[in-house]
Structure 1
Amino acid sequence: MPVVSQATPQERRYFWLLMLFAFVVIAAGMGLRDPWPSDEPRFALAAKQMVESGNWLFPHRGSELYSDKPPMLFWLEAASYTVIGNWRIAFLLPSLLAALGSLALVYDLGRRLWSRQVGLYAAAALLISFQFVYQVKRAQIDPLVMFYITAANWGLLVHMLKGPNWRAFWLGCFCAGLGVITKGVGVLALFLFVPYLVGVFGRWNGIARMGEGAWWRWALGAVALVLAMMLWLVPMLMGAKAHANDPAYAGYVNDILFHQTAGRYGKSWDHHHSPLYYVPIVLFTWLPLSLTYPGTLPRWWRALKEKDGRILLLLGWIVLVLVFFSIPKGKRDVYIMPALPMLAVVTAPYLGELLQKTWLRIAGLVFIGVMGAAMLGVGAVSLVSHPKFAADFATARGFDDGGHALWWMFVTIGAAQLLLVAALRVRKAVWAVSGGMAVMWLVWSLWAYPILNDSSSAAGLMADVREKVPAGDELGMVAWKEQNLLMLDRPAVDFGFTQPWHEQYAKAIAWQAQDPAHRWIFALDTVMADCVDRSKAVSLGHANRREWWLFKADAVKPGCVPSDDVDRVPQFSAD
């Protein structure tokens, strides 16, 4: 097996400087905000309830079992809190570690398949891509599943291109299994077998052949895959069996193993888009890396004609992932994010040459210049003329001053980006692009997080609730969102989350009537309909683009129950 040369002190220094830069950009703002909708509060609430209840096997959303996603992210968030003791840091820590791990794997893959310089280019290309940083600065499942798939790809590619390396292969299969119990799609890494078999039978250059009698070693890869999955499946199924008398647990097993996987893929019930949905995603959300396409496409084609197995496996896998996610009707931009690290790797061998090209440097300057001009323009117009979009945004967020601080942030980012373009120009365009992206992420994280946190996380809203409901009184929640229960930070009674709103209301009113002097109801404006006298209720204002109220029994109109029409009001799935 080839021996990788030792890194020089300069190469080590460049790698660690890159990782330090990545840490600063991605970690900036941690501790300055709480979980923001739509997914972050849901996952943080599940993790928080694990810590408080001691039940880490079955996630809950309030009083209901939560079966939309496997519990891997919830475990890591709960474990992070157990170690750190601060939810503002703990809920983002798994994404930060997944990002740094993905960058390290991409670097190592580049250096093993080509050189250390290529590894640095690969990691830098991934770090500069918009979708990568945007997603890893959020506490969603996608950064974690991206890491596990990248780790699985690392093991399989090292084995298939630099092997035989059975330990790397088995590790890759094990990581694919961890990806499966993270979001179900970890098995995507195994798509590498398709281009690998093409390379083997087509005698492509650089493809490792394992020799005869290796079938049992291949089979151990399946064992490693299943073993990782069993780490969760076995105790989960045993736990469900122990609750055989409760149909909710049988429903949990059926939903998470079938409905949320094969059911969601075969009969998607949301986010419907055309088969070409991902074309603009790979063009625009992967900027500025996607600016290299005009240079890399002919080079990839030339490498394929020369039967370069490295390009075959990397590009083949990316294409298969794009095709796989283009088939179902349901599509989201984050679904294809695991392909981005491999795109960075397959682009990196040509970056040294492409970055010397004037056309690419100009394209980079135009990209940062257009972004800067847009930021500056939006901020300046909002400050000077107060257009309708700015006024509506300020109202929805509860800003009394029209959101001036936020618009000044836009002006600052735009001005800084344009200044970088003017100062560095074509000769140092690489630094202008890198600096422009860094300025955007750092200023946004350190400036916008504190400004938007109260309205985005419902922290301000729920602080108001705590102030208005006496400590000895009880609170019931109707038509609530995860951020409401998460940020309440005191016990509350819910009447289901997925239950129809009018049924929640009816149960809440019956509950309140048992102790009208000490029980309050927190409810969405819509669900109250005409059944609550708003003159006797407490308006809590707007948060997360919704209006909320608090009321006691004297505000309830006897015998009035909202119709089921309230359940069909748009619920703002993407806050």
Structure 2
Amino acid sequence: MAETEYTPRFGAPREPKPRVDPGNTLARVLDFVTLSHGRAVAFLAVVSFLFFLSGFFTIPPIDRDEARFAQATKQMVESGDFVDIRFQDEVRYKKPVGIYWMQAAVVEVADRLGVPNAEIRIWLYRVPSLLGAIGAVLLTYWTALAFVTRRGAVLAGLIMCSSVLLNVEARMAKTDAMLLLTVMAVMGAMARVYLAWQRGEENKQGGWLEPFVFWTGMAVSILIKGPLILMFVGFTILVLGIMDRSVGWLGRLKPLAGIPWTLLLVLPWFVAIYLKAGQSFFQDSIGGDMLSKLQAQESHGAPPGTYFLLFWVTFWPGAPLAGMAAPAIWRARREPGAQFLLAWLVPSWIVFEAVMTKLPHYVLPLYPAIAILIVGAMERRVLARGWLSRGSAWWFAIPVLAAVGALVGSVAVVRHPMFLAWPFAAGALVFGLFAWMMYDNNRAERSLLSGVVAAFFMSIAFYAVFLPSLKPVFPSVHLARALRTVVCVAPKAAAAGYHEPSLVFMAGTGAQLLDGAGAADFLAQGSCRFALVEYRSERQFAQRAEALGLRYNMFTRVEGYNYSQGKAVSIAIYRSEGTE
């Protein structure tokens, strides 16, 4: 009997199953959205909004910077004084007024639209940061179009909107997300002018778009963060001038018209604050804030190399590709595109590493340059092989470390493992594993897209579930809620031992920050007064109350953890019963 090929009894022979790779589906999505600029922009806007929205409304005020910014804005709205910047009675002249105006505009609009208690809703103060982060992603796309294809520009935008650091700043009511938007406007306009000059393109007649974006972005950046933008621009021009032995392209930015325009936008407020406060603002902002960062300011000192180490976490999921792209970027360093991006990146990074005061967000304005450099190497398929490619494991390692850290933290703080976060953490682990296992030089794009999806699941797990559930680490919320339940007219509060800015924001501008004895004196001055006394100040409070003959009772007690100081707190709320 002749040998025949075996055929299954039911149906035709089955073909081998293709390897499961979610990156194929994600790549097809990218194919669709890059068919036009409109689709690409809409896609990045929607994805950014989805990334940054998790926890945006539910995370309480974060101490200390966010609460300080929000409280200073709240006092502007309460007082109607939009020139001076104060936290209670203390001037707050470390930063110019730009971000306070933006936050105040949102709160005022919300109040007129009937949003109840708009002045104490922290998410309203975060809206400028949300818009700044989304705008920065879109401007990363716009900037990248001068260097790479439309598909590559979308990938650069995805790297930025999924990065850990920008996700943090998008949810914080302070300057850095909006600063990034202005930096991208300025550097994007400058890049387009420089590359057109390098290509020998004639200057377009009446080409005012890039100069207008450049000088307007410069003005807004100065009003938000002071002269920091001048460092990025100045170093870039200096390095390019040395490399090219020419800065002839600067004329295309129309400085004769642009400089007066910038001054017209920034000088009115600087003149107003000078007339109101004299030299105080300039002494505090330049001498007290900027120059003091040369030393270890507010216990934030760290050695050189700190930002390099933090980069592998704060730039995830783009970070694994940065290491693989580094050799190719170095080889291409004299090409005009890479030369511009490295001039933007390297000198300012060296300065940040050299300065003693270090906070993770300082280097955020340099991350888009890295994202575009990475995409350029991906498009040429020149990512390093060999030992550097083992960095792809980092796509999986970060979700694992985050999941373990969150599990330990939730059990330690709230005594349960937050089961609601587990499905999202599992999604991050699965897509992180796919990104790692499917990586090779020809599939880097698909691994990156899987990493972006892993970052999305991580953002939901952390910002929407984990962080809002850590109620003990936000004692100010519970203290303010307790004060709102009292039955008396216009309650007044004073705190002893717990002086976090979030308490002032939540409990009211009139909340006094005193010591234990001062809290007892405050309580003795009338009815409908409450002393919030942390247990380390209770002895001093009790001794002074006894000396005053003050009778009081404990309204309630709030147990929690002060993460700003790294210690547990127990805060009693006392109410006066009069004096003997």
Larger deviation, residues 455-464 vs 94-103 = 455-464
**1:162, 1:45 → 2: CA distance?**
45
Q: Does 1:293 align with 2:322?
A: yes
Pairwise CA distance, 1:179: 1.8
Pairwise CA distance, 1:475: 2.5
Aligned equivalent of 1:246:
none
Pair 1:130–1:471, CA change in 2 (3 A)? same
Aligned equivalent of 2:416:
403
Aligned equivalent of 2:537:
527
**2:390, 2:274 → 1: CA distance?**
54
1:145-544 aligned within 5 A: 145-163=179-197, 164=203, 168-169=210-211, 171-184=213-226, 185-190=228-233, 191-201=235-245, 209-210=248-249, 214=251, 217-240=254-277, 251-252=280-281, 254-265=283-294, 268=297, 270-304=299-333, 307-354=334-381, 366-377=393-404, 393-394=412-413, 399=414, 402-405=415-418, 408-409=419-420, 411-420=422-431, 425-426=437-438, 429-452=447-470, 455-456=473-474, 458-468=476-486, 470-471=488-489, 473-479=491-497, 480-488=499-507, 492-494=510-512, 502=515, 505-515=516-526, 517-532=527-542, 536-544=553-561
Q: Give the match's secondary structure for 2:62.
A: coil
Q: Give the match's secondary structure for 2:316.
A: coil
**2:456, 2:383 → 1: CA distance?**
22
Aligned equivalent of 1:140:
174
Pair 1:357–1:322, CA change in 2 (3 A)? closer
**2:487, 2:387 → 1: CA distance?**
60
CA contact (8 A) 1:295 1:354 kept: no
Q: Give the match's secondary structure for 1:458.
A: helix
**1:10, 1:221 → 2: CA distance?**
32
Q: Deviation per CA, 1:490-526, whole angstroms, max 9, x where unpaired?
A: 573425xxxxx54xx55544444333x4433223333
**1:451, 1:269 → 2: CA distance?**
29
Pair 1:342–1:446, CA change in 2 (3 A)? same
Q: Give the match's secondary structure for 1:260.
A: helix
Q: Give the match's secondary structure for 1:404.
A: coil
Q: Which has the larger radius of gyration?
A: 2
Pairwise CA distance, 1:104: 1.4
**2:138, 2:578 → 1: CA distance?**
59
**1:303, 1:215 → 2: CA distance?**
26
**2:296, 2:256 → 1: CA distance?**
32
Gaps of 5+ in 1: 1-6, 203-207, 242-249, 383-388, 496-500, 559-575
**1:54, 1:229 → 2: CA distance?**
21
Aligned equivalent of 1:129:
163
**Residue identity in the other structure for 2:330:** W
CA contact (8 A) 2:480 2:506 kept: yes
Calculate the aligned-residue CA RMSD, in Å. Answer: 3.4
**Residue identity in the other structure for 1:336:** V
Larger deviation, residues 18-27 vs 128-137 = 128-137
Pairwise CA distance, 1:339: 0.3
CA contact (8 A) 1:361 1:430 kept: no
**1:316, 1:210 → 2: CA distance?**
15
**Residue identity in the other structure for 1:436:** A
52, 71, 79: which one aligns with 2:78: 52
128, 133, 154: which one aligns with 1:120: 154
Aligned equivalent of 2:15:
none
Pairwise CA distance, 1:269: 5.1
Q: Give the match's secondary structure for 2:299.
A: coil
CA contact (8 A) 2:474 2:561 kept: yes
Q: Give the match's secondary structure for 2:485.
A: helix
Q: Give the match's secondary structure for 1:32.
A: coil
**1:231, 1:476 → 2: CA distance?**
38
Pairwise CA distance, 1:449: 4.8
CA contact (8 A) 1:46 1:61 kept: yes
**Residue identity in the other structure for 1:43:** F
**1:145, 1:47 → 2: CA distance?**
17
Pair 1:10–1:355, CA change in 2 (3 A)? farther
CA contact (8 A) 2:164 2:315 kept: yes
**1:276, 1:170 → 2: CA distance?**
37
Pair 1:186–1:422, CA change in 2 (3 A)? closer
Aligned residues: percent identity? 17
Pairwise CA distance, 1:344: 1.2
Pairwise CA distance, 1:340: 0.4
Pair 1:439–1:258, CA change in 2 (3 A)? same
CA contact (8 A) 1:355 1:361 kept: no
CA contact (8 A) 2:54 2:460 kept: yes
Q: Deviation per CA, 1:2-42, whole angstroms, max 9, x where unpaired?
A: xxxxx985453244223211111112333223322222221
CA contact (8 A) 2:222 2:229 kept: yes
CA contact (8 A) 2:85 2:92 kept: yes
**2:144, 2:282 → 1: CA distance?**
40
Pairwise CA distance, 1:122: 1.7
**1:144, 1:364 → 2: CA distance?**
32
Aligned equivalent of 1:569:
none
100, 112, 116: which one aligns with 1:74: 100
Pair 1:255–1:210, CA change in 2 (3 A)? closer
CA contact (8 A) 2:60 2:468 kept: no
**Residue identity in the other structure for 1:237:** Y
**1:167, 1:331 → 2: CA distance?**
36
**2:141, 2:484 → 1: CA distance?**
49
Task: Please give the TM-score of this superposition, normalised by the length of structure 1.
Answer: 0.78
Q: Deviation per CA, 1:318-347, whole angstroms, max 9, x where unpaired?
A: 111111212221111111111001211222
CA contact (8 A) 2:553 2:576 kept: no
**1:355, 1:454 → 2: CA distance?**
49
Gaps of 5+ in 2: 1-32, 112-117, 198-202, 546-551, 563-568
**2:483, 2:57 → 1: CA distance?**
23
Aligned equivalent of 1:565:
none
Pair 1:81–1:329, CA change in 2 (3 A)? same
Q: Deviation per CA, 1:60-96, whole angstroms, max 9, x where unpaired?
A: 2223322233222222111112223443431221111
**Residue identity in the other structure for 1:523:** V
Q: Deviation per CA, 1:457-494, whole angstroms, max 9, x where unpaired?
A: 62222111332463354323445222112222x57342
Pair 1:198–1:238, CA change in 2 (3 A)? same
Pairwise CA distance, 1:413: 3.5
Q: Deviation per CA, 1:289-339, whole angstroms, max 9, x where unpaired?
A: 2212343222222222xx312211211221111112122211111111110
